[in-house]
């Protein structure tokens, strides 16, 4: 078993960071400054990957717009960040929870406690792909900050066999044995302050990239107007307040008339704005939105 174990010592995320060699003997203020400086390098690494990230946005937006799904597969921190991004899409963009999903090695329990060994089984990744019935309409994104996670490799290979578009996210240089995919996003963040701890810079880079992909894909799907979350449906006090403020901003109404309009729109911000801007009732507003693919700008007659 040990003889067959992969030597990962040359991977960027496994190397030692010269600046943190004295981490255990460093004044706390200096250590905080060091970690902040290193986090900034994650942002710089992402900047070098902007063309690939833009391509990912296009792939995901096209798939979602045609009824497909975006499904993340990962282990440990990478898996948890995929699940987190998926979980945040429905409240932010009023998406069906099936549209963006996350699968983590070890299953739901691994979100809260490490499931030792689950990431080492490529057949587990393949089985997770089969369980989600991945197909040609879907985009599968495998997240492996350290690049070699068997669970992720197995998921990507199986997803490709099933005809899905595949994206591989990793923070290390290309290595032998990487799965064939349609797109690679590879921000090279470098060694971690705590050697090998990819919950640090690599995790930061992962979160930032996933944020960008899903946010801009939803923008392309018409779930944003200007920079406002107009596809919001008010389901709690915070969202009723935010929804009314968005309506007031876009219509010029005072708070109370905006809140009344939101009530008449059954809590749907886009419906409320169309009602006001086009002087129609809620039924007619929904029809206008449907006719224009849910895009508020076109539904209120502004065009592109």
With CA atoms as reference, report the closest residue to 73 among 99, 106, 117, 98.
106
Neighbours of 256 (CB within 10 A): 10
The pLDDT of residue 109? 85
Average pLDDT over residues 99-116: 88
Q: Could you tell me the pLDDT band of residue 4, with boundaries at 50, 70 and 90? A: low
The pLDDT of residue 304? 57
User: Whole-number mean pLDDT of the chain?
Assistant: 93
Biggest alpha carbon–alpha carbon distance for the chain:
73
Q: What does the pLDDT look like over 202-254, one tens digit per residue?
A: 999 999 999 999 999 999 999 999 999 899 888 899 999 999 999 999 999 99
The pLDDT of residue 107? 86
The yes-or-no answer on residue 58 being catalytic is no
Q: Could you tell me the pTM of the whole model?
A: 0.91
Average pLDDT over residues 69-88: 96
The pLDDT of residue 303? 63
The pLDDT of residue 1? 37
CATH (residue range 12-220): 3.40.50.10490
Q: What does the pLDDT look like over 18-40, one tens digit per residue?
A: 999 999 999 999 999 999 999 99
Q: What does the pLDDT look like over 161-188, one tens digit per residue?
A: 999 999 999 999 998 889 999 999 999 9
Q: Could you tell me the pLDDT band of residue 113, with boundaries at 50, 70 and 90? A: confident
Q: Active-site residue among 30, 49, 98, 119?
A: 119
Q: What residue ranges of the chain are covered by domains with CATH 3.40.50.10490?
A: 12-220
Q: Active-site residue among 88, 108, 116, 192?
A: 88
Q: What does the pLDDT look like over 254-302, one tens digit per residue?
A: 999 999 999 999 999 999 999 999 999 999 999 999 999 999 999 998 8
- Retrieve residue 108's tokens: 């739901």
Q: What residue ranges of the chain are covered by domains with CATH 1.10.8.1080?
A: 237-299
Q: Could you tell me the pLDDT band of residue 152, with boundaries at 50, 70 and 90? A: very high
The pLDDT of residue 110? 86
pLDDT at 117 over 80: no
CATH class in words for 237-299: mainly alpha
The yes-or-no answer on residue 29 being catalytic is no
């Amino acid at each position: 078993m040990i003889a067959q174990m992969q030597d990962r010592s040359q991977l960027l995320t496994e190397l030692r960071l010269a600046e943190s060699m004295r981490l255990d003997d460093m004044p706390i203020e200096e250590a905080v400054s060091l970690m902040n400086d290193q986090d900034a390098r994650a942002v710089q690494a992402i900047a070098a990957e902007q063309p690939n990230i833009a391509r990912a946005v296009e792939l995901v937006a096209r798939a979602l717009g045609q009824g497909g799904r975006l499904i993340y597969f990962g282990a440990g921190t990478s898996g948890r960040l995929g699940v987190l991004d998926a979980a945040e899409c429905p409240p932010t963009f009023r998406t069906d929870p099936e549209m963006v999903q996350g699968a983590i090695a070890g299953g739901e329990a691994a979100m809260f406690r490490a499931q030792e060994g689950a990431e080492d089984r490529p057949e587990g990744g393949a089985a997770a792909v089969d369980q989600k019935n991945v197909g040609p309409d879907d985009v599968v994104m495998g997240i492996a900050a350290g690049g070699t996670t068997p669970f992720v490799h197995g998921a990507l290979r199986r997803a490709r066999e099933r005809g899905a578009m595949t994206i591989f996210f990793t923070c290390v240089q290309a290595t032998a044995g990487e799965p064939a995919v349609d797109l690679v996003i590879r921000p090279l963040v470098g060694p971690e302050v705590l050697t090998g701890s990819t919950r640090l810079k690599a995790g930061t880079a992962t979160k930032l990239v996933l944020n960008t992909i899903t946010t801009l894909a939803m923008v392309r799907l018409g779930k944003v107007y200007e920079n406002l979350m107009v596809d919001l449906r008010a389901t709690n006090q915070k969202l009723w307040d935010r929804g009314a403020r968005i309506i007031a901003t876009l219509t010029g109404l005072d708070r109370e008339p905006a809140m009344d309009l939101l009530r008449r729109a059954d809590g749907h911000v886009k419906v409320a704005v169309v009602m006001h801007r086009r002087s129609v009732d809620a039924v007619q507003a929904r029809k206008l939105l449907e006719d224009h693919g849910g895009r508020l700008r076109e539904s209120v007659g502004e065009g592109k």
